Structure 1
């Protein structure tokens, strides 16, 4: 470069201060800016937040800038945002920020965020929810889970929850200690129930249950003991579509009563709390029991009705036969009397000569009539006895079938299994299904039909290995 007097040379600081003056002159007031948070970058030590902002169109980045929210401002903005949206400020959100454009020679260009319009984000979330709802209906997923046939006795239940949550404990307490003594087979599939990671966690639990659908009658997603914050994951189209397509009926009870989420909308049925879900399953057992009682009553009533009907027909048949026999006897008697009169009036001699034969014929006729009556009466008795015997056999067979089914149900109950000599081993109230679940020193609790015993594991052996 020539060192002619006309050539101007600027320092880096000169350029930086010039840009600083120009930006402070032209951008002297804060501006509302619509943007997406690509990365939040919160530093817990200082409390400052350095979000990376981006604008995209059809997946392509049109613009990106670095911003800053000072710690005191970040605390205020975060609390206000969460109070309005019921969701913490997080990456991937479209937000409306109020920011000052600044430039410093040392730190470069930056947007100093002083406020965030939470109502705008709330509107964007509502808009996204409506679009997802429309898509669920367009793809015929909205009512898909509701069309599944719910089992009459939902005994085997897969639970997606957190073992330490209050809602899960309430559910267990009610369903395990129901006053009717109904026994349920429950298995917990732990998952995160709120926050951004909940979508993946719940989806993974559903996929695991899907590989064992033959082992369960229904699935329930229960959450309790927390507020409504973090529930936006249940408005995710991905999670809602997985629930809608699930091959087993899904019952939701995520513990809130306002703004029904997409997941709750697409489940087989939605209950507000885990307690309501527990009572729902108990009520289905009661419905089945009442149906069985009604069938039993209907069967008894039908048998009694058929017996009365057969008895009435027998009586009617007996009366009809008796009436016909009486009429026949009266007719023959009348005919005999007429014959006697004719014989006496016209042929006295003939009457005398044939009197003995007619008398004999009369005796024979009476004997045959009486014998015929006795034969028919015996036949009626045999028919009556056969009907009673067959009816009794039907009643006995049905009664034996009911007793057999009842005995089988009793034999399959856990109490009867324990009485047959089997035992149940638990460690920390968790059922032990394999020796691999035990380790030396575990406190083992062995349940018998009449009590339990506690012991300590000294040694375990599996497949010939110590």
Structure 2
């Protein structure tokens, strides 16, 4: 495709320099810009920082630009920002920054950041904290952890901290000094304690404790040493709501005395330092011990008073008992004397009457015994006569029956039957009663009254009628 002579041709450098001149002419002074830091891109070695800036609306990106903060400026800005907000410049933060608009033919468009208004960010943080506080109260969870009941002696403690933290070491040293008197059971759940990553880290530690909540009486979050920088994580709604809903009492000791964070507000109780937390738990033991001592003193006093009252009562009872026993003994002695006199006076006549009764009874018993023997003798004689008569009759009857049976047996004897012409047939000495018991070829033995004959069976003709 050919170009006409009137058409101007520019190099890429021409366009770049033209844009550079135009931007430097129209944007010749710094501007305050409200934006969000999408990515910080800070380099430790060079000290320079190259933030990616973005503006969003309802999650949609409306604009994005690259920026640069030179090392000296970044160092100064960071220190001033942390001194005022107690929080380092970090990603996701909405800031108000002073920047100069630049364009370079090689490096393209960028913003050179000269300053960041920390008071604006502080206001944004305070605004977010207030909104989170209102939300906690609106959802009815602000006082949930405060409404829990702490055991009278919280012995089993879950500690969220870092093993190398000075605050944790102070806490453990104080607990250790009381160990001879109070027996604590403490388990550390390590977590980051400051910065944006602390939100997730502390929440994970709380979840681990909640999975074993039956093993603990309370939870404490302790942090010591350092300043207040990085504590904005404790104003996070996510972390504060997690603490507020936690099923065990949470005691905080984050270690600063400035503005109270949301997490500290929603805990069961907030102590400024880890040392205060340690003394709080020790005090619970000490209060219980003092209460036990007071109860022991009161109990001892009551026991002594009761023993004294019971001793007095026992003395009265003993005196009354002794008086009643003496009176009862005197009465019984008098009754015994009367009984003895009555027995002494009535004994001779009683013995005499009993002796006469026994003599009469003996004579009567002798007569009755003799009379009974005579009656029995008469009965035995009578029974003997009856038995002789009945026995004789029974023997005669049995003799007649035996004679009859003997005659019958004689008539039915085999010898008598054989003499009358009957025969007895046997096969192998076995009596044959039916023709069906025979088979051709059997050796048949026929017995007569005067001998026997042997024959072979040739043919068998059973009687069809039978």
Query: CA separation in 2, counterparts of 1:140 and 1:147?
Result: 12
How far is 1:220 from its partner? 1.0
How far is 1:276 from its partner? 0.9
1:101-250 maps to which residues of 2 (within 5 A)?
101-178=101-178, 181-250=181-250
Deviates more, 1:100-109 or 1:178-187: 178-187
How far is 1:319 from its partner? 11
**Greater C-alpha radius of gyration:** 2
Distance 1:26 1:371, change over 3 A: farther
Query: CA separation in 2, counterparts of 1:118 and 1:281?
Result: 39
Cα RMSD between the aligned structures? Answer: 2.7
Query: CA separation in 2, counterparts of 1:159 and 1:228?
Result: 21
Counterpart residue number, 1:54: 54
Query: CA separation in 1, counterparts of 2:185 and 2:145?
Result: 22
Counterpart residue number, 2:93: 93
Query: CA separation in 1, counterparts of 2:173 and 2:268?
Result: 23
Unaligned runs of 5+ in 2: 333-466
Counterpart residue number, 1:63: 63
2:279 maps to 1:279: yes
Unaligned runs of 5+ in 1: 326-366, 373-466
1:431-446 maps to which residues of 2 (within 5 A)?
none
Distance 1:33 1:286, change over 3 A: same
CA contact (8 A) 1:34 1:97 kept: yes
Counterpart residue number, 1:24: 24
1:368-387 maps to which residues of 2 (within 5 A)?
371=331
Counterpart residue number, 2:79: 79
Counterpart residue number, 1:427: none
1:332-351 maps to which residues of 2 (within 5 A)?
none
Distance 1:251 1:368, change over 3 A: closer
2:255 maps to 1:255: yes
Query: CA separation in 2, counterparts of 1:232 and 1:368?
Result: 92
How far is 1:45 from its partner? 2.5
Counterpart residue number, 2:295: 295
CA contact (8 A) 1:176 1:183 kept: no
SS in 2 for 1:229: coil
Query: CA separation in 2, counterparts of 1:318 and 1:197?
Result: 81
SS in 2 for 1:99: strand
Query: CA separation in 2, counterparts of 1:275 and 1:209?
Result: 22
TM-score by length of 1: 0.66
2:279 maps to 1:268: no
Q: Deviation digits for residues 406-442 of structure 1, max 9, x if unmatched?
A: xxxxxxxxxxxxxxxxxxxxxxxxxxxxxxxxxxxxx
Q: Deviation digits for residues 277-311 of structure 1, max 9, x if unmatched?
A: 11111100011112222333343444455556667
